[in-house]
Amino acid sequence: MLVQTLYTSQAQMPMADAGNGHILLEALAYNPHHGLTGFLFRSRNHFLQFLEGTEHDVKEVMARITLDPRHEQILAWPLVPTSARLFGDWTMGFAGGVAEPEVLLIRSLPRTVETLATLRPKLREMAAPYFSDPVNAH
Ligand SMILES: Cc1cc2nc3c(=O)[nH]c(=O)nc-3n(C[C@H](O)[C@H](O)[C@H](O)COP(=O)(O)O)c2cc1C
């Protein structure tokens, strides 16, 4: 079964830290082999990540991400079954300069199946400027 999830978390290193690139490299090394696609946003203080794949694969990667000390206070949506991927063309897109208020707004929403459905077009819109970036395009 194909599922999607979304979480926000407090980053434990500055926005300009090379560690953000390391996270992206880890994701790019792992996700394609496990059918995981999605997008990782970084704002000044937060991460926001959308992940999709089989229930098994999403649970497994989320278990590791949740233990990662490079972020804290993870607020995750439940896994939502879906028939189509939102970021099927991205093994893991990355946007490094997302506005803090946008992430704080999403962070304040109730984490229900309904809000995730509402957020899908918004997330796609936030990611759109990065789709032409050859580093991220696949
Ligand atoms: C915000 C954030 C997002 C991450 N996203 C992914 C991801 O999409 N895929 C992935 O394999 N690892 C991701 N990681 C890294 C994992 O938490 C973990 O460090 C990495 O997979 C290596 O795990 P291991 O040391 O158990 O092998 C992310 C880490 C952070 C802090």
Minimum CA distance residue for ligand 1 atom 5: 27
Cα separation of 45 and 57, whole Å? 27
pLDDT at 132 (0 to 100): 60
Is 17 close to ligand 1, i.e. is its CB under 6 Å away? no
Cα separation of 91 and 120, whole Å? 17
Q: Residue ranges of the domains in the chain?
A: 2-130
Q: Are 76 and 111 in contact (CB under 8 A)?
A: yes
Residue 136 backbone phi and psi in degrees, to 5: -95, -25
Q: What is the pLDDT of residues 45-99, one digit of tens each?
A: 999 999 999 999 999 999 999 999 999 999 999 999 999 999 988 888 888 889 9
Tokens of 29: 């090394």
Which of 26, 61, 74, 136 for mutating ligand 1's site (highest number of atoms within 8 Å of CB)?
Answer: 26
Model pTM score: 0.93
Q: Are 75 and 107 in contact (CB under 8 A)?
A: yes
Right CATH for 2-130 from 3.30.70.100, 3.40.50.720, 3.40.50.150, 3.40.50.300:
3.30.70.100
- Measure 61 CA to ligand 1 centroid, in angstroms: 7
pLDDT at 134 (0 to 100): 43
Residues counted in the chain: 138
The residues that bridge with 72 in the sheet, in sequence order, are 10
Q: What is the pLDDT of residues 11-28, one digit of tens each?
A: 999 988 889 889 999 999
Largest CA-CA distance found in the chain, in angstroms, rounded: 37
Q: Are 69 and 12 in contact (CB under 8 A)?
A: yes
- Measure 31 CA to ligand 1 centroid, in angstroms: 9
